[in-house]
Amino acid sequence: MILLENSSSTKTTRNTGKGKQDLFEETINYALTKDNFGFNSVEEAKSKSAWDTAKMNKDLAVMFSVEGSELSNSEATYYESRTMKIETKQARKGLKAKHHLDMHSHAALKSFSNSGYTRVIEFTRDGKIKTEYQNGKIVGQKLSEFIVGMMQEPVIGGDPMTTIAELVYKDYNSFEHNAHVLIPDFDLGIYEGIYDVRFNIIESDPANIKMSAYTLDGNAVDNLQISDFVMKNTTGDKQIIDAMSFSEEEQAYVLTGAFMPGTIETNGVIVQSNIMYEGARIDLNL
C-alpha cells in the first residue's frame, strides 16, 4: 500500500533514502465513479462488500478489460522573453485505453462520455487500485474529459473490433500529491460491471405471461425470484404477480396474475453471488 500525504501546499524538500521502490504496474481495467462519490476509509476502499454496494447503487461503474494502452501526456509550454515567462499551454496528463468491444459494449462505454461519472479508479496488472485521499474520503482521480472514439471495425490482417477511450485527467499534480495505491481484498481481474438482462415474451394473456430472460452474451438467467420482477400498467401503477414458476425444459418463466397492458422490468439491480443483473424495461401488450 502506497500512501502519500498531501504535499501540494509545501515546498519542503523530502528525504531520498528508499531501499525498495513501490512500483505499480500498468492499468488493465478501470471504474468510473460519480463526482461526489468516495469511500469513507482505506478499509472500505479495499472491501469487496463496499464496492458491491457502490456498484449496485450506480455510484461507480466497472468498465471493460484494457487490451493495450499508451500515454497521451504533454508538458506545459511557455512564451519566454528577456524579462518574462508566460505559460501558454497547461501540462496535460492522459491515458488512451484500447478495448476490443462488440457493438453493445461500445455503446455502453460511450454512454459515459459527458456523464456524471467524472472520476476514475484504475485497476493495475499487479492487483492494485489507484485512488486519492481528498477531503477525508478515498476517491478516484478527477477527469476533465472521458473521450470514447468511434468504433473501429475489423479489416483483413488487422485488429478485432476496437474502441479507444481516452482518460484526460484534470490535474496531474493531484495524484502525485495525494496518491493512495491500495491492494483490495478481492480479485480485480474478474470484477465486472452489471449485466443487462433482456426479456423475451413467448406467450401472454391477462392471466399468464411466459417469457425467457437472457444476458447479452446469450446466457439464460434461470434463477430470478418473484420479487425480482416489477410489472406496471400503462398509468405506472404496479401490478400484482400472484405466482411464478420456471420451466427448465423451456428455460422460461411463467408469471400468473390478473394483468393489464403495461411494462415488465427487474426490481432495480439484482445481486446473485458475484454477478449483478438489471433487466431492461419492455412493453407488455395483451
Asked whether residue 18 is domain-assigned, the answer is: no
Asked whether residue 5 is domain-assigned, the answer is: no
Asked whether residue 12 is domain-assigned, the answer is: no
Are residues 141 and 210 located together in one domain of the fold?
no
Are residues 245 and 171 located together in one domain of the fold?
no
CB atoms within 10 A of CB 47: 16
Q: What is the pTM of this model?
A: 0.91
Are residues 94 and 160 located together in one domain of the fold?
yes
Are residues 30 and 164 located together in one domain of the fold?
yes
The arithmetic mean of pLDDT across residues 72-101, rounded, is 95
Interval 212-261: pLDDT, tens: 999 999 999 999 999 999 999 999 999 999 999 999 999 999 999 999 99
| Residue that is written with C-alpha cell 443487462 in the block | 196
Asked whether residue 256 is domain-assigned, the answer is: yes
Asked whether residue 212 is domain-assigned, the answer is: yes
- What pLDDT shows up at residue 139? 98
C-alpha cell at 156: 483483413
Interval 12-47: pLDDT, tens: 888 999 899 989 999 999 999 999 999 999 999 999
Asked whether residue 9 is domain-assigned, the answer is: no
Rounded Cα gap, residues 104 and 61, in angstroms: 16
Are residues 185 and 265 located together in one domain of the fold?
no
Final residue of a structural domain among 190, 224, 259: 190
The arithmetic mean of pLDDT across residues 111-115, rounded, is 97
Final residue of a structural domain among 190, 216, 237: 190
For the chain, give the percent of residues with pLDDT over 70.
96
- CA dihedral sign of residues 190, 196, 200, 205: positive
Residue 3: band (very low, low, confident or very high) from pLDDT cuts 50, 70, 90: low
C-alpha cell at 76: 506545459
Contacts 24+ apart (CB under 8 A), 131-135: 131/39, 131/45, 131/179, 131/180, 131/181, 131/182, 132/174, 132/175, 132/178, 132/179, 132/180, 133/3, 133/6, 133/178, 133/180, 134/38, 134/178, 135/38
* Residue type at 263 in one-letter notation: T
End-to-end CA distance of the chain: 58
The arithmetic mean of pLDDT across residues 197-211, rounded, is 95
Give me the CATH number covering residue 245.
2.60.40
Is 50 exceeded by the pLDDT of residue 7? Answer: no
Burial (CB < 10 A; 0-12, 13-18, 19+), residue 165, is buried
Final residue of a structural domain among 190, 209, 241: 190
For the chain, give the percent of residues with pLDDT over 90.
92
- What pLDDT shows up at residue 10? 56
Domain hosting 255: range is: 195-284
The arithmetic mean of pLDDT across residues 179-203, rounded, is 95
Domain count, the chain: 2
Are residues 251 and 161 located together in one domain of the fold?
no
Are residues 118 and 157 located together in one domain of the fold?
yes
Integer angstrom CA distances of residue 282 from 50, 163, 271: 31, 29, 21
C-alpha cell at 248: 427448465
Asked whether residue 7 is domain-assigned, the answer is: no
C-alpha cell at 266: 427487474
Are residues 54 and 176 located together in one domain of the fold?
yes
Are residues 177 and 73 located together in one domain of the fold?
yes
The arithmetic mean of pLDDT across residues 68-72, rounded, is 97
